[in-house]
């Protein structure tokens, strides 16, 4: 009878110990819901080698100790945002109905920003119009331009912004431009980036990857800055889903056009986005912007009450899903949502179904063709439960609907960069603006209606007739939802 080689036994023993150690770590790590723990234990036990590698690369929300320490140090020393806006004598609580005040308190608990009045807002017609408006504002800038995008491409729209920044810097305007090192890697490694630097634009790559083989030792490579922020002279800001790129989105042309939403705000809300940008800038660049942040903020006229909500892996855990769930539970008449990526946790799925069950007219629009086949399959695994509860599901047919919007009872709306998936909940830095204003919420709702007019309804009968292999695939992918 032959014996098993000692080396094989020793190697197997080491492997088992590593798997067991990782399982213990999974069970002891804070901020993990039971579904996530179970999913990782299953992966580690069923796919030992691949499971170990997957956990090392993607198992923990870790951007690196140095980055966390630096970000917390930056936030700790930033001057406080004024509790009330000087010169704004209006009673903000009186502008926001009592039933909606808890929503803004939830937002304040995340970013520390109170809602501020005195804002005006304009919804841009489409992606190209939005870029043209940004360029016009950059060309009119007198003091500074601050820009941050997850994806910035060297295409027509991307280069329009490049040239506008170069013009602004050449006439003495201080320009600071940031882009995510993964999402904007083509732009960052192009001649355009160098050309901006050469004329005086201060540029920075956010969350640099460096050596991809060594990067996992210092934190996850897929924790990204997904924000889209533009602030001009501390009084104008943009917020929405749009990256700095053409709607044809040439890096993924078969899903084009990308259909986005972008809003131009003017007023005190720009100062809140300014602080969000500054926190990212100072965490990346050795430059103190405290003096800029201490400039007085004024609201010279009545306007829309609004609030910036910034989330990310160094913010409070579960902040973004808490904000979404608060909005879902607050709905009384109508809830209308558009999102390209939908992988909810149990609480969010329950809140959506509960809204429909209590008689709220609840509608969600997803893209019919998604650039992420994994998220697409996971999203569709929830269709049956949502439809059974009475949620109206539609799939957008004319490109990839990338707009992230939520309107509530025709009075409150949330727009920004955050999707309703685990990546936006836990992994990405996101920025959103929550506001309460009937006329402007109606404008957002009209845009949502234009999406609905180009979407097809999904029925319960249709989902019930999906072949078993499709349902098996969707549900199998959804099991991995806590890992996505």
Secondary structure E strands in 181-294: 202-206, 229-232, 236-240, 258-259, 262-266
Would you say the C-alpha torsion 456, 462, 464, 470 has a positive or negative sign?
A: negative
Is residue 211 a contact partner of residue 236, using CB atoms and an 8 Å limit?
no
Going from the C-alpha of 101 to that of each of 175, 307, 326, 327, the distances in angstroms are 36, 12, 11, 11
> Where do the structural domains in the chain lie, given as residue ranges?
6-58, 65-306, 319-483
Angstrom distance (rounded) from CA 225 to CA 35: 26
Under CATH, which architecture does the 65-306 domain have? 2-Layer Sandwich (3.30)
Who wins on pLDDT, 256 or 36? 256
Examine the pLDDT at 440 and tell me if it is beyond 90: yes
What's this model's pTM, rounded to 2 decimal places?
0.90
DSSP-derived secondary structure for 65-134? HHHHHHHHHHHHHSPPPPSS-TT--S-HHHHS-GGGHHHHHHHHHHH-PPPEEEEEEEE-SSHHHHHHHH
Conformational region of residue 312, where left means phi above 0, alpha means psi within -120 to 50, and beta covers everything else? left
- Are residues 380 and 473 in contact, defined by beta-carbon separation less than 8 angstroms? no
Q: Could you tell me if 151 and 181 are in contact, meaning their C-beta atoms sit under 8 angstroms apart?
A: no
pLDDT tens digits, residue range 132-187?
999 999 999 999 999 999 999 999 999 999 999 999 999 999 999 999 999 999 99
For residue 472, give the H/E element and its range.
Answer: helix 468-479
**pLDDT > 50? residue 1:** no
* 59: nearest Cα among 483, 423, 374: 483
C-alpha 114/C-alpha 82 separation (Å) is: 9
Residue in the block written with tokens 């509860």: 389
Higher per-residue pLDDT: 293 or 327: 327
Question: Confidence band (pLDDT; 50, 70, 90) for 76?
Answer: confident
Local confidence band at 90 (pLDDT 50, 70, 90 cut-offs): very low
Report how far residue 155's alpha carbon sits from residue 190's, in angstroms, rounded to the nearest whole number. 11
Q: Say whether 177 sits in a helix, a strand or coil.
A: strand
Calpha distance 398→255 (Å, rounded): 9
CATH 1.10.540.10 fits 319-483, yes or no: no
Pairing of strands 392-396, 361-367: parallel
Quick check: 478 pLDDT over 90? no
Domains 65-306 and 319-483 share a fold: yes
Give me the active site residues, please: 226, 228, 233, 402, 404, 409
Tokens encoding 373: 């086949």
Q: What mean pLDDT value characterizes the chain?
A: 89
């Amino acid at each position: 009878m032959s014996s098993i080689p000692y080396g094989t036994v020793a190697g197997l023993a080491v492997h088992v110990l590593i798997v067991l150690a990782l399982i213990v770590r999974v069970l002891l790590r804070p901020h993990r819901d039971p579904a996530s723990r179970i999913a990782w234990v299953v992966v580690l036990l069923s796919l030992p080698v691949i499971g170990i590698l997957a956990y090392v690369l993607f198992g923990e929300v870790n951007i690196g100790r140095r980055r966390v320490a630096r970000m917390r140090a930056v936030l700790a020393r930033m001057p406080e945002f004024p509790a009330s806006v000087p010169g704004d004598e209006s009673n903000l609580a009186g502008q926001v109905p009592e039933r909606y005040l808890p929503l803004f308190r939830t937002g304040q608990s995340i970013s520390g920003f109170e809602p501020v009045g005195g804002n005006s807002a304009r919804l841009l017609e489409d992606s190209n119009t939005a870029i043209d408006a940004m360029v016009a504002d950059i060309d009119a800038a007198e003091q500074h331009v601050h820009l941050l995008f997850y994806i910035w491409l060297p295409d027509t729209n991307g280069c329009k912004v490049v040239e506008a920044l170069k013009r602004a810097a050449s006439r003495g305007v201080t320009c600071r431009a940031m882009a995510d090192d993964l999402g904007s890697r083509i732009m960052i490694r192009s001649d355009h980036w160098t050309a901006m630097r050469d004329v005086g634009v201060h540029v920075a790559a956010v969350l640099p990857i460096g050596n991809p083989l060594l990067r996992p030792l210092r934190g996850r490579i897929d924790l990204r800055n997904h924000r889209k922020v533009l602030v001009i002279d501390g009084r104008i800001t943009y917020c929405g889903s749009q990256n700095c790129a053409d709607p044809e989105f040439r890096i993924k042309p078969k899903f084009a056009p990308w259909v986005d939403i972008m809003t131009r705000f003017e007023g005190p809300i720009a100062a809140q986005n300014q602080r969000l940008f500054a926190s990212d800038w100072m965490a990346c660049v050795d430059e103190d912007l405290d003096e800029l942040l201490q400039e007085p903020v004024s609201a010279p006229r009545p306007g829309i009450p609004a609030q910036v909500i910034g989330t990310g892996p160094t913010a409070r855990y579960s902040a973004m899903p808490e904000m979404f769930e608060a909005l879902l539970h607050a709905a009384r008449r109508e809830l209308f949502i558009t999102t390209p990526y939908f992988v909810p946790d149990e609480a969010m799925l329950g809140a959506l179904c509960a809204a429909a069950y209590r008689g709220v007219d609840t509608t969600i629009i997803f893209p019919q063709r998604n650039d992420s086949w994994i998220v697409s399959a996971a999203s569709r695994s929830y269709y049956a439960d949502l439809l059974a509860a009475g949620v109206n599901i539609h799939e957008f047919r004319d490109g990839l609907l990338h707009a992230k919007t939520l309107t509530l009872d025709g009075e409150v709306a949330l727009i920004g960069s955050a999707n309703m998936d685990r990546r936006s909940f836990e992994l990405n830095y996101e920025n959103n603006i929550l506001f309460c204003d009937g006329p402007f919420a109606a404008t957002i709702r009209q845009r949502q209606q234009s999406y609905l007019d180009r979407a097809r309804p999904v029925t319960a009968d249709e989902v019930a007739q999906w072949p078993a292999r499709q349902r098996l695939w969707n549900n199998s992918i959804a099991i991995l939802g806590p890992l996505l």
